[in-house]
Amino acid sequence: MKTLGVYIHIPFCVRKCVYCDFLSFPAEREIQKRYIDALKREIEENAVRYRDYTVKTIFFGGGTPSILPENDIKYIINALKVYYNISPDAEVTLEANPKTAGYEKFLALIDAGVNRLSLGLQSADNDELKLLGRIHTYEDFLKSYEEARKAGFGNINIDLISAVPSQTVKSWENTLKKAAQLSPEHISAYSLIVEENTPLGDRSSDFPPLPDEEDERLMYHRTKSILEKEGYRRYEISNYAKKGFESRHNIIYWQRGAAHTHDYAGFGLGASSTVGASRWKNTNDINKYIMSDGRDDIKEEYETLPQDDLMEEFMFLGLRMTCGISTDEFFQTFGKKAEDVYKDVLYKWTKQGFMEQSGGYIRLTDQGLDFANMVFADFIL
Amino acid sequence: MTMPQTDQSRIRNFCIVAHIDHGKSTLADRIIEKTGLLTSREMQEQVLDNMDLERERGITIKAQAVRTVYKANDGNEYIFNLIDTPGHVDFNYEVSRALAACDGAILVVDAAQGIEAQTLANVYLALDHDLDVFPVINKIDLPSAQPERVKNEIEDVIGIEAQDAPLISAKNGTGIEDVLEAIVHKIPAPKGNADNPLQALIFDSVYDSYKGVIVFCRVMEGRVAKGTKIKMIATGASFDVVEVGYFGAGQFIPCEELSAGMVGYLTASIKNVKDTTVGDTVTDAERPCASPLPGYKKVLPMVYCGVYPADGAKYPDLRDALEKLQLNDASLFYEPETSIALGFGFRCGFLGLLHLEIIQERLEREYNLDLVTTAPGVVYKVHKTNGEVIELTNPSNLPDPSEIEYMEEPVVNAEIMVTSEFIGSIMELCQERRGRYISMEYVEETRAVLKYELPLNEIIYDFFDALKSRSRGYASFDYDIKGYERSELVKLDILINKEEVDALSFIVHKESAYERGRKMCEKLKDEIPRHLFEIPIQAAVGGKVIARETVKAMRKDVLAKCYGGDITRKKKLLEKQKEGKKRMRQIGSVEIPQKAFMSVLKLDDQ
């Protein structure tokens, strides 16, 4: 059976955060409306392509999808329901920021079909939140979280960022503990990546210093130890979940493999799609997107991935997950054994203690995960 | 095509001498343009500097010549042979041979800047060759121009008449007529008798894949034509002349013969520029001249460095490229060498650092090669205890200290011209570079010429840059080789993770070893990426460690996020990481980026 993950990009936010390099910006309501119409057109126009698929996950990402009125989300989900086969147990996630949604909106979203909420907290320290350019306080977050629970969300993720300017190991531990105490089903804890084209990455801007290397590494390790003690299991480099609550949508990105069981369709501005060996990306130009007929005129950067690329991705994406890659799956997909294609590399990193193989899986060890990039680079053919 | 038989009295062979940027090439362009050889539209800017590199750097690397005809105010037509000389101290010998091919010189001085170190050096060189020199003051259109002051300076410092010097702006074309008339009246016509045995001076040569070597020469005595059997006196090679001619703008124009007083070229199916060395005398093999022209010398490389292909597989390409460059540049020397760190490459010898840079750039640009070059060094003389003397061009070949009696290094006479406010900082610089103070003379109230003796190895890296930065660009500098002097020299070795890296060794004065070693370790610490283990970087002299730095072990290398939208981008990062790794050199278990091998060059960066 062909299965599909659907990603829907909502490029709007109240205000850009200082570290954010995603495709997002504040926009007037009129633009939002026209965007939602264009999004619906794109979803409809592409329905034929996905006729044989069952949609297993839907993910509204951004930006801040929760700034849209609930009816917009409902409108899009309905469009999907009309034109696509949605699995009855589909995971439907929506990213939300505190202060952009409350009890009533949550109720309406659940009614529309959203069953997983991803709330951006980032830090439990109000000074850090302010520095990051977040529009909310920790207290605002608490309120949103409680209202989401009250409205009936039984699957909530909290996003956190470590190693932000001025942060201490102690304040990060505090953030982790406060988040874990709320007992969300899922926690994503990222180490900050300073991107060049952001205010934080601008050398001339004057932010307090980033934690030094020792502290940053300590924070990274505390994340695992604290969250595991609280009953979360790390299943990907930066993702932790209670048993059975791993993000099914994100796993589609990381687990490549047997044809058409890990395809994903991205709708909306700048969204990427991967279907079999084909990959493309929608335009980043909001005007072009709004004016489009929803067909191929907005698709850019078409590529057909050769087998080597597919194998590389299979490895460096799959190895992000703690369960590793399935050697059977690799063989079924490519007709070659991973142990042969990557013989030298596997030997080298196993010897180094960064990789291990058991039960039909090849995975990075805890130590290996710390140096994942170095190992991944070797899997580029 | 024939060239009308020309009366010697209507020929003017001259060159233009100037400090860099004083407008030599622009004046040359105007002379060519005004005499009608080319219209300004046809003329590519600066006809004579025709290598891309020359245009970009605004310098002349190879000598060039051009023949043009001028109808003077006296109603007669004169043939002008303008010989453009290289303008850099690395090419002093080439300059001297080009000057020897002339009868006079135009001295161009910038009306705002006045006399500079190169002005002096070049004028003295011209006067040494008995050339009649007349000055022109250029850039009079500049607001800061002070032509009267500059005239006085020329008379006071150089001692040549300057009151009636043409005041010109080569850029705007102002005053060029005056220069043309001055050429007719102030530069003497050539002498020499066409009936004497042939005696012609080679002042340059280029390689052409169809004609073979094209020899640029000035006929002093006698004549040469197609069919003449010629002999090169110094190299002893003989050939049958295939073609003779003169220089159009950017082209060779054949003619019947070249006779005494004329400047032109000859070809004779010569396969190798080594047979036609600059300064050699061409004579008639069947009726040879009694003696060669004076001044010939064999040019020896002064600066050596290792040149390696970044990709070891490109070794044959590098060899072919060097071979081709050498066809046009007899002063380029190379021989194969092997480095433990860098693999197969060549030890190359150059006239100076500029020459080195030019060759390196040409290899990279014209031959598309990616190179790793080791720190340049000079030629040391090692006197061994057994009486043997070796000329050391590669530090790795230094004999064991127990076998060394003493060592010598080349020393130069340097002249630095500087305004009085910077004298202190320039003297300090010279002291730091082990300079020996000789004298200081004021050329005018606020400017002086400092004379120092400096070891060549102290000036080959970055002396010029240091000079410029410590004088805010106002100091100018020239030097010539004085000879060899005994010196306390040691070999500084660099050990990375306890392994000696041969390509990083260099010879240094005992007194500066510690300082250099320390800086080198600091620099390498920044250049070598972190590994999974700690890497000690040590500098050692004779097995004794004198400086140490440590590259800390890498703690973490992981990208926190990777979702659907950024797989392509993340893959590019990984590809880059892998590519970067490929371009590293493996020394033991340490991967060293190629630019680390050049870091010794930049030790004085702040």
B210 touches chain A (CB under 8 A): no
Q: Do the domain assignments include residue A306?
A: no
User: Are residues A93 and A177 located together in one domain of the fold?
Assistant: yes
ipTM, 2 dp: 0.89
Query: How far apart are alpha carbons A35 and B92 in whole angstroms?
Result: 72
Q: What is the pLDDT of residue A280?
A: 93
| Least confident piece of the model among B92-96, B212-216, B337-341, B508-512 | B92-96
* Domain of residue A150, CATH code: 3.20.20.70
Q: What's the mean pLDDT in B168-174?
A: 91
Q: Are A330 and A310 in contact (CB under 8 A)?
A: no
Query: Of how many residues is chain A composed?
Result: 381
In a shared domain, residues A237 and A334? no
Same domain assignment for residues A206 and A106 = yes
pLDDT of residue A321: 96
Amino acid at A166: S
Least confident of A166-175, A336-345, B410-419: B410-419
The pLDDT tens digits of the residues spanning A271-302 come to: 999 998 999 999 999 999 999 887 878 998 89
Angle, CA of A64, A68 and A74, to the nearest 5°: 115
Strands (E) across A97-216 are located at 116-122, 156-162, 186-191
- SS3 label, residue A132: helix
Provide the domain count of chain A: 2
| A46 and A191, same domain (yes or no) | yes
Query: Are A186 and A88 in a shared domain?
Result: yes
**Residue A122, Ramachandran bin (φ over 0: left; ψ between -120 and 50: alpha; else beta):** left
d(CA B460, CA B269): 38
How far is residue B426 CA from its own chain's centroid?
Answer: 23
β-strand B104-110 against B11-18: which pairing, if any? parallel
Is A295 contained in some domain?
Answer: no
Mean pLDDT of A18-44: 93
Residue A189 confidence (pLDDT): 95
Same domain, A139 and A33: yes
Determine, yes or no, domain membership for A317: no
The model's pLDDT over B408-462, given as tens digits with 9 standing for 90+, comes to 999 999 988 888 889 999 999 999 899 999 999 987 778 888 999 999 988 887 7
What is the C-alpha to C-alpha distance for residues B67 and B204, in angstroms, rounded to an integer?
A: 16
* Interchain pair A378, B578: CB under 8 A: yes
Please write the tens of the pLDDT for every residue from A98-126.
999 999 999 999 999 999 999 999 999 99
Give me the pLDDT at residue B39, please.
46
Residue B154 DSSP one-character state: I
Residues of B in contact with A372 (CB under 8 A): 557-559
pLDDT at position B327 over 90: no
Residue type, B255: C
Q: Is residue A270 part of a domain?
A: no
Residues of B in contact with A63 (CB under 8 A): none
Say if A16 falls within a structural domain: yes
Assigned domain for A198 exists: yes
A232 and A363 belong to one structural domain: no
A198-221 residues labelled b (16+ CB within 10 A) or e (exposed): bebeeeeeebeebbeeebbbbbbe
Average pLDDT, chain B: 86
Q: Kindly indicate the confidence band of residue A260, based on its pLDDT and cuts at 50, 70 and 90.
A: confident
Quickly list DSSP for B383-422: EETTS-EEEE-SGGGPPPGGGEEEEEEEEEEEEEEEEGGG
Domain boundary pick from A226, A254, A282: A254
| A198 and A331 housed in the same domain | no
User: Which of A244-258, B25-39, B493-507 has the lowest average pLDDT?
Assistant: B25-39
Q: Give bridge partners of residue A120 from the DSSP assignment.
A: A159
Mean pLDDT of the region B474-487 = 85
* Chain B residue whose CA is closest to A315: B571
Q: Do residue A120 and residue A26 come from a single domain?
A: yes
Cis peptide preceding A152, ω within 30 of 0 = no
Q: Are A257 and A5 in contact (CB under 8 A)?
A: no
Q: How far apart are CA A128 and CA A119, in angstroms?
A: 17
Task: Pick the last residue of a domain from A254, A276, A305.
Answer: A254
A336 shares a domain with A246: no
pLDDT at B542: 86
Burial category of A137 from C-beta neighbours within 10 Å (exposed 0-12, middle 13-18, buried 19 and up): middle
Nearest Cα residue to B489 out of B409, B403, B432:
B409
Lowest mean pLDDT among A219-228, B59-68, B403-412, B580-589: B59-68
Interface of A with B (CB under 8 A): 5, 7, 190-193, 213-214, 216-217, 220, 237-238, 250, 252-254, 264, 266, 270-272, 274, 279, 281, 301, 309, 312-313, 316-317, 320, 352, 369-374, 376-380
The answer to whether residue A39 sits within a structural domain is yes
**B560/A190 Cβ within 8 A:** yes
Range of the domain at A141: 2-254
Quick check: is A73 in a domain? yes
Residues of chain B contacting A159 with CB distance shorter than 8 Å: none
- The DSSP line for B218-286 is EEEESEEETT-EEEETTT--EEE--EEEEE-SSSEEEESEEETT-EEEEE-----GGGS-TT-EEEETT
Q: Are residues A202 and A334 in the same domain?
A: no
Indicate the residue among A219, A254, A289 that finishes a domain: A254
CATH code at position A343? 1.10.10
At residue B27, what are phi and psi to the nearest 5 degrees? -65, -40
A58 and A164 share one domain:
yes
Q: What is the Cα B488 distance to its own chain's centre?
A: 29
Question: CB B560 to CB A279 under 8 A?
Answer: no
Q: Give the list of residues 6+ apart from residue B14 with CB closer than 8 angstroms, or none.
A: B80, B81, B82, B83, B102, B103, B104, B105, B106, B183, B187
pLDDT category, B251, cuts 50, 70, 90? confident
Mean pLDDT of B349-368: 86
